[in-house]
Amino acid sequence: MTKLATLIAGGVLALTASLASAQDDQSGGSGQMMDHGAMGQMDMSAMPEHMQGMMGAMQTMMQTMPMESSGDPDADFLLMMIPHHQSAIDMARAELEHGDDEETRAMAQAIIDAQEQEIAEMRAMLERMGVEPPAASE
């Protein structure tokens, strides 16, 4: 895993843990599993437009990740990584739309190029395993 991919994965895990902690606080510490679908109900209207794009990507990722195991750890890994990678692509597109630092924009484009290739590889792996890949994003 590249340093960038590790950083992105760490950020996603930190955000997920933070959201789970907030959910736990709201549920009185019941320890119930976080309802990832509820993330889609977050009001982002007060956020700057660029944050809406990035948080929207995170919400979509959480809503499209499978919540049940396929029974195959390899397939489950791939089924969860595809929305994770798509989220990185969507966040990078938000950077290209709103960002103005050329180095950051170049990094965003590199993320898009790498993640699209990896998604294609993961879809092919799932097909070889006989597992239906998730629907392609627009």
pLDDT digits (tens, 9 = 90+) for 54-70: 676 677 677 777 778 88
Residues 82-119 pLDDT 10s: 999 999 998 999 999 999 999 999 999 999 999 999 99
* Residue 120 CB partners (closer than 8 Å, separation 6+): none
Q: Helices H, strands E: what count in the chain?
A: 4, 0
134: left (phi over 0), alpha (psi -120 to 50) or beta: beta
Residue type at position 84 = H
Contact status, residue 38 vs residue 75, Cβ threshold 8 Å = no
Query: Do the Cβ atoms of 62 and 36 come closer than 8 Å?
Result: yes
